[in-house]
Amino acid sequence: MNKKPRLPWLLPMFPTIRRPNMTQFSPLVGVRMTGSGAATPERILTNDQLAQMVETNDDWIRSRTGIRERRLVSNSRESVASLATLAAQRAIAQAGITAEDLDLIILATSTTDDLFGTATQVQARLGAQRAVAFDLVAACSGFVFGLVTASQYIHTGAFRNVLLIGADVLSRWVDWGDRRTCILFGDGAGAVVLQAGDRNQILGWELRSDGQGHGLLNIAYSTEQQRFEPITMNGQEVYRFAVRCVPDVIAKALHRAEHAIGEVDWLILHQANQRIIDAVVDRLHLPPERAISNMATYGNTSAASIPIALAEWVDSGKILPGHLIVASGFGAGLSWGAVVWRWG
């Protein structure tokens, strides 16, 4: 049978469908970020306690990283799913919606409870019956990659209410005898609610990958051992990569958003190392007080670090509706990216 193409004669009725150069700047539907929440484990591990486990000391860790303590899952009730669910409940409450309103749940994590995915467990725990749920893996860039992904579903009109969670329990994957890595990481979760709106508040973004640097930071599967190995990292190279690439990606995202660095109210960098934050702030010529930092109390919580920092600054009334925020995630992959948005 000779089938006629059905779409072309419909296109004049929907001119936006034909627009071949549709970019992030001309979304069909606007996106607003309307809620945020965070959850961290109860147990605290201080630098002094770490110094009893490996040859290190509080001075060394503070001066090289800015970290004083971190929070670690410590019992069978605490997991990626439990922390993600708690952070999500707080974000949903702040947005003034219910779990049943959610259309989509994206869980950014690299430390899943189950290799088949953890997002559906979170969906069940929340009672978000209508929502489709999946995991997204992009290491410490997970929240930023997830924010861009989630926004696309809303921009296209496919979904109206999206929950994005960044949650990681890297403590499960750290070699607690390796002082070069075990001092850095902590566990936690942060979440945001994104909703369709008349005005678009997700203003610009830039995402990057470079698989050539894949070997610099890994939790690799060993075919010999038939299991995943603990985290391995080339600290100096990762440091150099972050300081070189992050200012560039932030500048590009701001350019796309048509904003200058001087207009930014808050910079939320992935909380990896205070020295990285200081170097990036310096290169961007940003007043240091606009750079959010809470790694002293949480360490590097991977995909959770940006949304935890966001939720804390929103809850303490420092981030206000209309404030211009730029966030940048970076890490294993290598992957890195930045997003510019207005809160609320």
- Judged by CB under 6 A, the number of residues near ligand COA is 17
Catalytic residue among 161, 245, 270, 273: 270
Q: Does the protein bind ligand COA through residue 52 (CB under 6 A)?
A: no
Q: Is 75 a residue of the active site? A: no
Rule CB under 6 A: choose which of 272, 280, 286, 291 binds ligand COA. 272
**Which one, 233 or 324, has the nearer CB to ligand COA?**
233
Secondary structure element (H or E) that encloses residue 87, with its range: helix 80-95
Q: Any catalytic annotation for residue 300?
A: yes
Among 92, 102, 183, 308, binds ligand COA (CB under 6 A): 183
Q: Considering only residues 43, 62, 160, 180, which one is a binding residue for ligand COA as defined by CB under 6 A?
A: 180
Of 59-67, 84-92, 282-290, 309-317, the segment contacting ligand COA by CB under 6 A is 59-67
Stretch that binds ligand COA, among 33-41, 121-129, 189-197, 234-242 (CB under 6 A): 234-242
Minimal distance in Å, beta carbon 240 to ligand COA?
9
Residues 238-267 that bind ligand COA (CB under 6 A): 238-239
- Using CA atoms, how far apart are residues 8 and 142, in angstroms rounded to an integer? 38
Contact 91, 39 (CB under 8 A): no
Using rule CB under 6 A, residue 173 touches ligand COA: no
Look up 234 and say whether it is catalytic: no
Smallest distance from ligand COA to CB 120, Å: 27
Please identify which residue in 37, 188, 204, 331 interacts with ligand COA, judged by CB under 6 A: 331
Nearest residue relative to ligand COA (C-beta): 235
The total of other beta-carbon atoms located within 10 Å of residue 18's CB is: 10
Report how far residue 279's alpha carbon sits from residue 245's, in angstroms, rounded to the nearest whole number.
12
* 273 touches ligand COA (CB under 6 A): yes
Mention every residue, 6+ apart, whose C-beta is less than 8 A from residue 292: 266, 267, 268, 269, 309, 310, 313
Q: Which residues, at least 6 apart from 6, have a Cβ–Cβ distance to it below 8 Å?
A: none
| Contact positions with ligand COA (CB under 6 A) in 111-170 | 140
Selecting among 47, 140, 155, 245, the annotated active-site residue is: 140
CB neighbourhood size of 320 (10 A): 12
Torsions phi, psi for 260 (to 5 deg): -95, 160
Other beta carbons less than 10 A from residue 223's beta carbon: 7
Q: Are 271 and 295 in contact (CB under 8 A)?
A: yes
Site string for ligand COA, 277-316 (x = CB under 6 A): -----------------------x----------------
- Of 43, 235, 248, 323, which one interacts with ligand COA (CB under 6 A)? 235
The correct pick among 2, 52, 222, 236 for binding ligand COA (CB under 6 A) is: 236
Nearest to 40 by CA among 176, 168, 183, 192: 168
Strands (E), the chain: 30-39, 43-46, 69-72, 104-108, 132-136, 161-169, 187-197, 202-209, 217-218, 221-222, 227-228, 232-233, 266-269, 324-331, 335-342
CA distance 149 to 154: 9
Greatest Cα-to-Cα distance within the chain, rounded to the nearest angstrom? 78
Catalytic residue among 47, 161, 200, 300: 300
The window from 117-125, 235-243, 282-290, 313-321 that contacts ligand COA (CB under 6 A) reads 235-243
What are 30's strand-pairing partners?
197
Residues near ligand COA, by CB under 6 A: 56, 60, 64-65, 140, 179-180, 183, 233, 235-236, 238-239, 272-273, 300, 331
The residues assigned a catalytic role are 140, 270, 300
